[in-house]
Amino acid sequence: MTRSTPPAATHNDPLGYGFAVAGAVLFSTKGIFIKLAYAQGVSTEMLLSLRMLVALPVYLLILLTILRREDKLRALLTPPIVLASMAVGILGYYFSSYLDFLGLNFLSAQYERLVLFTYPFFVLLFGVWLFGDRMLWRVVPAMVVSYAGLLVIFGWNLAINPDGLLPGTLLVLASAISFALYQHLAKRQMLVIGAGLFTCIGMSTAAVVAISQNLVLAGPASYLTLTPVLWIYGLALGLLGTVLPSFLMNMGMARIGARATASTGAFGPIVTIVIAVWVLGEPFTLYHAIGTAAVLLGSVLFTRAERQARQQPG
């Protein structure tokens, strides 16, 4: 039997970059909906399960459609491939998300998004440490600039509202690290079975884990106590903050690779800041402006250094 493998990623793919940017922008709305839902008194576990409860039927429907139409892909689903895709999905869509949801109990949506925005640096480091990528030392100054920006906002929060700042930051940073590892592992699965099939398997598995967690902790009757407003936030989280961006990001990753996809996320923090200030009424001071500018500048320098390194032979 001949295996049908998707074409290798290329970094000169406008459509791939378009998918990645659109996914980053939609993912940036996630923190806003989470903060709005938390204001209604919902628990972290309930909110995460509600997000997945909305998303799960969509992924299962798409999964069944793919399997029915794609005989070649169906033939590739050996037990090791399926189990690996399920495990990677749990890492990226349950574990990483759960840490992020927990962190948002303590942090503003703006700061959370900027901390998450450092995950391209971890993508690079994991590539070097675990997957044989070449270390690009020229990106180190960019990393320093971005983390200096985070320190500015961290310092402002420490002076104004320090409660929960450190554990919240560590939780979201752990989310960024685990998501960076997921990016590398997911890329390898997608090269075998494609972005769409992998996304459906990974997200469906993560959804089952998240829903099961809440059922154990709160019981089935807990869903009957949710208000219509919380169901609306759950619907927005499930569709706008999960289903659409997950497919867009994974389609972009399959076309341009994990590093290039990670470097397109600069639009996410900008969208989050605008919505957080407008909808949530979060402050945006001179310190926020300086810190955000430094984080985004570091991302621009990081992307430029990577592209220059790729253009050089050897």
| 227 within a domain of the structure (yes/no) | yes
Query: What whole-number distance in Å separates Cα of residue 45 and Cα of residue 270?
Result: 28
* Nearby residues of 80 by Cβ (< 8 Å), 6 or more positions away: none
Residue 159 belongs to some domain of the structure: yes
pTM score: 0.83
Q: What is the pLDDT of residues 100-151, one digit of tens each?
A: 999 999 999 989 988 887 887 888 888 888 887 777 788 888 888 888 988 8
pLDDT at 270: 78
Q: Report the percent of the chain where pLDDT is more than 90.
A: 42
Which residue range forms the structural domain that includes residue 210? 14-307
Structural domains of the chain, count: 1
Mean pLDDT of 284-293: 91
Query: In this structure, are residues 238 and 55 in contact, taking their beta carbons and an 8 Å threshold?
Result: yes
Q: Minimum mean pLDDT among 85-89, 165-169, 310-314: which range?
A: 310-314
Asked if residue 154 belongs to a domain, the reply is: yes
Q: Is residue 217 part of a domain?
A: yes
Whole-number pLDDT of residue 3: 42
Judge whether 312 lies within some domain.
no
Whole-number pLDDT of residue 194: 87
Given this model, what pLDDT does residue 253 score?
78
Number of residues written out for the chain:
314
Mean pLDDT of the 78-105 span: 95
Within-domain flag for 178: yes
Does residue 46 register a pLDDT over 90? yes
Residue type, 277: V
Residue 8 forms part of a structural domain: no
What pLDDT is stored for residue 53 in this prediction?
A: 94
Share of the chain above pLDDT 70, in %: 91
Instruction: Decide if pLDDT at 266 tops 80.
Output: no
pLDDT attached to residue 17: 82
**Given this model, what pLDDT does residue 11 score?**
53
Print the SS3 string covering the chain: CCCCCCCCCCCCCHHHHHHHHHHHHHHCCHHHHHHHHHCCCCCHHHHHHHHHHHHHHHHHHHHHHHHHHCHHHHHHCCHHHHHHHHHHHHHHHHHHHHHHHHHCCCCCHHHHHHHHCCHHHHHHHHHHHHCCCCCCHHHHHHHHHHHHHHHHHHHHHHHHCCCCHHHHHHHHHHHHHHHHHHHHHHHHHHHHHCHHHHHHHHHHHHHHHHHHHHHHHHCHHHHHHCCHHHHHHHHHHHHHHHHHHHHHHHHHHHHHCHHHHHCCCCHHHHHHHHHHHHHHCCCCCHHHHHHHHHHHHHHHHHHHHHHHHHHCCC
- The predicted pLDDT at position 7 comes to 47
For residue 183 the two structure tokens come to: 């990016």
What would the mean pLDDT of 149-168 be, rounded to a whole number?
89
How far apart, in whole angstroms, are the C-alpha atoms of residue 248 and residue 24?
9
**Do 175 and 96 form a contact (C-beta atoms < 8 A)?**
yes
Query: Measuring CA to CA, which residue among 234, 187, 231, 197 is closest to residue 92?
Result: 187
Q: Which of 36-50, 54-68, 127-141, 262-276 has the lowest mean pLDDT?
A: 262-276
pLDDT at 5 over 70: no
What burial letters (b/e) apply to 218-236, b meaning 16+ CB within 10 Å? eeeebbeebeeebeebbbb
- Does a structural domain hold residue 7? no
**What does the pLDDT read at residue 267?**
67
